Amino acid sequence: MEKLLKRIENKDITVGIVGLGYVGLPLAVEFGNAGIRTIGIDVNQSRVDQLNAGDNYIQDVDDAELKALVDAGTFTATTDFSSIKHIDAICIAVPTPLSKTKDPDITFILAVNEELEKYVHKDLVVILESTTYPGTTRELILPSLEASGLKVGTDVFLLFSPERVDPGNPVYHTTNTPKVIGGVTENCLKLGTAVYNHIMDKLIPVSSPEAAELTKLLENTFRSINIGLANEMAIMCAKLGVNVWEVIDAAATKPFGFMKFTPGPGLGGHCIPIDPHYLSWKMRTLDYKARFIELASEINASMPEYVVDLVADGLNKMSKSINGSNILLLGMAYKPDIDDVRESPALDVYGLLEAKGAKLSFHDPYVSEIKFDSRIEQTIQLDHSTLDQYDCVVITTNHSEYDIKTIVENSKLIVDTRNATADFKSNKVISLGAG
């Protein structure tokens, strides 16, 4: 172990990153920038070919940085898991979606686990970053590593360190977001800490992988529940004739005991809509019902339907129905100024309106196309002069480059789910929770 620790401290190692998406690729680039030989492993051959050509596809990765690492040979990508034989520390950052029944789908983790069983070797540090239910690291990966006869904590070293990626965040990124890390043993923690010390500004060690797993679930459950409260407050304020945005802004002036959350058309992204269900599922196996999680999920999941009701109300006042109306959605990404549509509530709003017979178009400056079932729809060119061709414009994501004033002036009806039109009062605007 001491020889491995010395090599890690001297950067005389090769790091492997499994999964080259929103989490894995930025992580690989940071290790490369630290002067550490890095191998990215992904099952998508076209993605691997693109990276080996120095072509970046992740918004938070600098194009020039990636190309420089590829040109220097510091970073390479492959689909070949046998490269694990030449890797000293491996970070697993594969997707962990939910099944249709809201149960954890750890298919990708299981697939990586099978490859680890084939190629695990002495002095390998294994770090799981994919969000999952408490116990996954110890109950699933540890037995696979030890099936080879190697001992975790002595021969191989196992940890969980949850990703905390916030795509598009201009302030917090991979290196300056404090990183929680929990090892199966003290030796595991010591070596994992040495690996991450090369790229992280601050590490937060915890006592076990389970503590690290639960830390990530608590963070996003906290957000999910508070967003659910904000969404329900928006519905209540509308019924009371009070503007929810005014109420939230006023409450946010309190310098203690309050944290600002805002309503919207639903939850989006890979974490907040999904992670709480991992904890809820785990608790059901222990005969416990996570009531806060399930209630918040119910409220948040209902928001796209509430937005559709607002559209219907607005069109009714114009003596129109959703069926046959031309409707434009502005913004399909799940939050402003990024290209990520994973779990975006705009997709749900689109689907619900389409099911009611609306003729739909969308615009997003970051998303050129979206696959709906078996077809692909392209973003339109946003021409303010033709906005009046649409019976209703729905602001589902308030990208900063939208000229809201011009949009308000040229639209017949706007349903604003993000309070984007707050500075441009108009009787053509129906704002979520505005009362």
Please identify every residue annotated as catalytic.
Answer: 271
CB 349 within 8 A of CB 329: yes
At residue 166, φ and ψ (nearest 5 deg) are: -125, 90
DSSP conformation class of 39: E
Q: In this structure, what token pair is assigned to residue 49?
A: 């070919």
Residue written as tokens 């706007």?
A: 414
* C-alpha span between 414 and 208 (Å, rounded): 50
Could you tell me the sign of the dihedral formed by the alpha carbons of 431, 433, 434, 435, in that order?
A: positive
Tell me if 129 sits within 8 A of 163, measured CB to CB. yes
Question: Distance between CA 108 and CA 144 in Å, rounded?
Answer: 15
- Residue 124 DSSP label: E
Q: Please state, as a whole number, how many other Cβ atoms lie within 10 Å of the Cβ of residue 357.
A: 11
The residue type found at 340 is D
Q: Is the CB of residue 16 less than 8 Å from the CB of residue 91?
A: yes
Residue 326, strand partner residues: 359
Report how far residue 355's alpha carbon sits from residue 351's, in angstroms, rounded to the nearest whole number.
6
**SS3 of residue 358 by DSSP:** coil
DSSP conformational letter for 214? H
Q: Which residues contact 414 (CB under 8 A, 6 or more apart)?
A: 392, 393, 394, 395, 407, 408, 421, 426, 428, 429, 430
